[in-house]
Amino acid sequence: MTSPQRLAALPAGTAATVRVPATSANLGPGFDAFGLALDLCDEVRAEVVDGAGLRVRVEGQGAGVVPTDERHLVVRVLREELAAAGFTAPGLDVLCRNVIPHGRGLGSSASAIVAGLAAARALLLAAGAVAEHEQETRARVLLEASRREGHPDNAAPAVHGGFTIAWTRGEDPTHPDAVRSVRLAVHPDVRAVVCVPAEELATSRARALLPATVPHGDAALTAGRAGLLVHALTTDPSLLLDATEERLHQAQRAPAMPRSAELLRALRAEGLAAVVSGAGPSVLVLTDEAGVGRVSGLAAQGAWDVHARPVHAAGVDWS
């Protein structure tokens, strides 16, 4: 039997602040691979305090709903990441200022996990417990966040910003090279508009709706559109409507989000490149400046909270 590892306490007064963007994954055909960071950021401040115990305050999204004890997602991940490095924070004060809606397909869980990991790395750096370059920290956070989420498409833009393509390598998800991503520059004319409904849909529930296999023709069409989408998003936005077609997930999940499926149909019928954001039920539209108002007009029929958001270029930051 192995004895439990003894953890060293970080000094009281060590503090870190993290800002992490929302993300929209899939973008239609890029299932589990493509993602876009949106300028809608949660902020987490973590401070090691004297004594023992935990204080968690949540403002904004999730306040009064998410647990404010050791089960809190950011806290849980932060503590596990400290422990993996051999450290602990016996007294911990955490303040979360949340704007990313939960359970709407805007990557809130991935952003919370990225925030917890980045806060832990920032505390370790501030205390001089580790020495690592910024790119090493980002690589570590991407690896761990992807492993915890089970797919890297939200974690990659949350960590690196912009439009990302992420992929996994090999059989060992803990290998330092197990997750890779590239970030591509989005064409300056492209605007991202998200239509967010009041109703939530847990990503786990939406994933359970996916079939184990798909017809070869559907896979072939989707692979071709994913390639085209890279060109459309970076070089020729006039191709976005065709490029956002896919046959792997949106129709399969439509019964769990009938209002989103209806809005998607209405927007696409008007020539707007609409897709389900992540696992839904929000709808993302990739359009130009003139399209932003058209989306608001079409979404005005239902109770949609419409946000036109710039792409968040930088990804998570910490200090």
- Binding site, annotated residues for ATP: 101-111
CB of 237 to ligand LJ64HWYM, least distance (A): 23
CB of 85 to ligand ADP, least distance (A): 22
CB of 101 to ligand ADP, least distance (A): 7
Structure tokens at 213: 């296999």
Residues 274-303 that bind ligand ADP (CB under 6 A): 278-279
Amino acid at 93: D
The residue behind tokens 């390639």 is: 227
Please say which residue, 237 or 304, places its beta carbon nearer to ligand ADP.
304
CA distance 274 to 240: 9
Which of ligand ADP, ligand LJ64HWYM, none interacts with 207 (beta carbon under 5 to 8 A by kind)? ligand LJ64HWYM
Helices 134-149 & 108-126 angle (0-180, nearest 10): 140
Going by the DSSP 8-state scheme, the letter that residue 186 receives in this structure is P
Among the listed residues 14, 117, 106, 127, the one whose alpha carbon sits nearest the alpha carbon of residue 73: 117
Please say which residue, 129 or 209, places its beta carbon nearer to ligand ADP.
209
Please say which residue, 19 or 243, places its beta carbon nearer to ligand ADP.
19
CB of 172 to ligand LJ64HWYM, least distance (A): 21
CA distance 316 to 158: 6
Give the residue numbers of the binding site: 101-111
Please say which residue, 77 or 298, places its beta carbon nearer to ligand ADP.
77
CA dihedral angle for residue 227, residue 231, residue 237, residue 242, rounded to 10 degrees: -20
Count of residues in contact with ligand ADP, rule CB under 6 A:
22
CB of 56 to ligand ADP, least distance (A): 9
Which stretches of the chain are assigned E, i.e. beta strand?
8-9, 15-25, 34-48, 53-60, 87-88, 91-98, 163-168, 179-184, 191-196, 273-276, 283-287, 305-309, 317-318
* Contact set with ligand LJ64HWYM (CB under 6 A): 25-26, 31-32, 105-107, 109, 151, 153-154, 203, 206-207, 249, 278-279
Q: Which residues bind ligand ADP (CB under 6 A)?
A: 42, 62, 66, 72-74, 96, 98, 102-110, 112, 202-203, 278-279
